[in-house]
Amino acid sequence: MNFAIINGKLVNRSEAKVDIEDRGYQFGDGVYEVIRVYNGKMFTVKEHLERFVKSADSIGITLPYSIDDCTALLEELVTKNNLVEGTIYMQITRGTAPRNHVFPAKDVVPTLVAYTKEVARPVESLTNGVKTIRTEDIRWLRCDIKSLNLLGNLLAKQKAAEQGCFEAIQYRGDQVTEGSSSNIFIVKNGVVITHESNHLILKGITKDVILQICSQNNISFEERSFTLAELAAADEVFLSSTTSEVMPIIEIDKDQVKEGLPGPITRKLQSLFTEEIEKQCGDLTEKISS
Ligand code: PMP
């Protein structure tokens, strides 16, 4: 049997249902997280749950469990579902109440849901890199909140998919912000550059691990926005996310990035990132070939 969590209880996945007046369903009034599981162990779970609490706090939802209780619940879910390689999706909404833009009374209980999915590491794409497009960033100005409202992101991702690409690189004016579901990095003259974590992007957990790896390994980096011109002139480009790790970008709007192959600093970061996963979750069987 496959299980899900609804409001602190493990239930049969097929019986996990929420009300049609759940505010997540009607308004996207909630926040979410995706946590990677390798070898049955959660990677950077503390960081994800801290961001979950922060996102929820910033829209006035209080998580009814401590981070420790949440971790224990998710561990139980992973174990019960025998999840080895995959993801946990979790979301919290402001709860169920008669439809009204105004928040419901304080006694309305938030709805917390979590379930798992088997997902293999995208080893082929990690090895060969992916193609991307550029598209204008039409999202709201609180992209730091991991909100359920993802329409801007979905439209960007769909545009990429329709052109046979993996990701859409978004920009505001001439500044690159982030991907539709990832952070974007360029490498120029040995320096790794990625947008600073402010209201225009999501502070990626993977991004933070990468920057930590850079500082521990004497790889120069700058956290600042960069322009479309810098993107076009970059030596290397890659994206990062929980499910995509350190993913080389080899093409942008049909133009090759340099020779159209993953670059040396991207490869170095992939290998250091893999070490970090193995430190927390044990050895990985499938390797990225270079
Ligand atoms: N930006 C956006 C818009 C995202 O959806 C994601 C994926 N969660 C990221 C960045 C990368 O964040 P993380 O590394 O925490 O998965």
The residue among 118, 142, 161 that closes a domain is 118
Place of tokens 């801007």: 152
Where in the sequence is the domain holding 252, given as residue range(s)? Answer: 123-281
User: Is residue 92 located within the same domain as residue 167?
Assistant: no
Indicate whether 287 belongs to any domain.
no
Residues 39 and 178 in one domain: no
Atom of ligand 1 nearest to the CA of 207: 14
How many domains are contained in the chain?
2
The answer to whether residues 69 and 190 belong to one domain is no
- Is the pLDDT assigned to residue 212 strictly greater than 90? yes
Residue 1: the pLDDT is: 83
Domain boundary pick from 67, 88, 118: 118
Q: Do 267 and 147 fall within a single domain?
A: yes
Considering the domain architecture, whether residues 176 and 33 belong to the same structural domain is answered as no
Of 66, 89, 118, which residue sits at a domain end? 118
Catalytic residue chosen out of the listed positions 146, 157, 207, 268: 146
Q: Is residue 12 part of a domain?
A: yes
Within a domain: 289: no
**Residue 255 domain flag:** yes
Residues 7, 78 within the same domain:
yes
Inter-residue contact 50 to 41 (CB < 8 Å): no
19-48 per-position pLDDT tens digit: 999 999 999 999 999 999 999 999 999 999
- pTM of the prediction? 0.98
Q: Are residues 134 and 210 in the same domain?
A: yes
Whether residue 34 contacts residue 25, with contact meaning beta carbons closer than 8 Å, is answered with no
Q: Does residue 24 lie in a domain region? A: yes
> Is 144 within a domain?
yes
> pLDDT (tens digit, 9 = 90+) per residue, 136-162?
999 999 999 999 999 999 999 999 999
Kindly report the protein residue whose alpha carbon is nearest to atom 5 of ligand 1: 181
Q: What is the pLDDT of residues 254-281, one digit of tens each?
A: 999 999 999 999 999 999 999 999 999 9
Is 132 a pocket residue for ligand 1 (Cβ < 6 Å)?
no
207 is catalytic: no
CATH of the domain at 10: 3.30.470.10
Hey, which of 181, 198, 209, 213 would you mutate to test ligand 1's pocket, going by the most ligand atoms within 8 Å of its Cβ? 181
Task: Let me know whether 102 and 131 are in one domain.
Answer: no
**145 and 83 within one domain:** no
